[in-house]
Amino acid sequence: QSALTQPPSASGSPGQSVTISCTGTSSDVGAYNYVSWYHQHPGKAPKLIIYEVSERPSGVPDRFSGSRSGNTASLTVSGLQAEDEADYYCSSYAGSNKWVFGGGTKLTVL
């Protein structure tokens, strides 16, 4: 399976909202309610922030929200804070016990 497509970069000012897209196919993003999002600060391991398209793990602020339309999933970060500056990755279950990740988006808080 091919990697999911994400924009290489995104940016916003503190307090603003930014949305990152993640485009797959009808065999992964469009087929299953198992899209997840991770953020990764430099030198750190990725951290799960959204699972099952729009669910937030305990402890993740509600500033992070997920959605999906067709074969494209989206992550919206509202009320941007300096600590949100990180790399963001989407992932999707792709059937037959296989997973695929996106190429990552570097979010800059201006």
Residue ranges binding other proteins (CB under 8 A): 1, 3, 32, 34, 36, 38, 44-48, 51-52, 55, 57, 89, 91, 93, 96-104
Q: Of the two residues 77 and 90, which places its CB atom closer to other proteins in the complex?
A: 90
User: Nearest approach, Cβ of 8 to other proteins (angstroms)?
Assistant: 10
Q: Of the two residues 8 and 13, which places its CB atom closer to other proteins in the complex?
A: 8
User: Nearest approach, Cβ of 72 to other proteins (angstroms)?
Assistant: 18
Tell me the residue length of the chain: 110
Q: Give the three-state DSSP class for 100.
A: strand
Q: Give the three-state DSSP class for 73.
A: strand
Q: Of the two residues 15 and 42, which places its CB atom closer to other proteins in the complex?
A: 42
Note whether 84 and 93 are within 8 A (CB): no
Q: Give the three-state DSSP class for 80.
A: coil
Note whether 100 and 94 are within 8 A (CB): yes
> For residue 83, what are the contacts with CB-CB under 8 A and spacing of at least 6?
none
Q: Of the two residues 26 and 96, which places its CB atom closer to other proteins in the complex?
A: 96
User: Nearest approach, Cβ of 6 to other proteins (angstroms)?
Assistant: 9
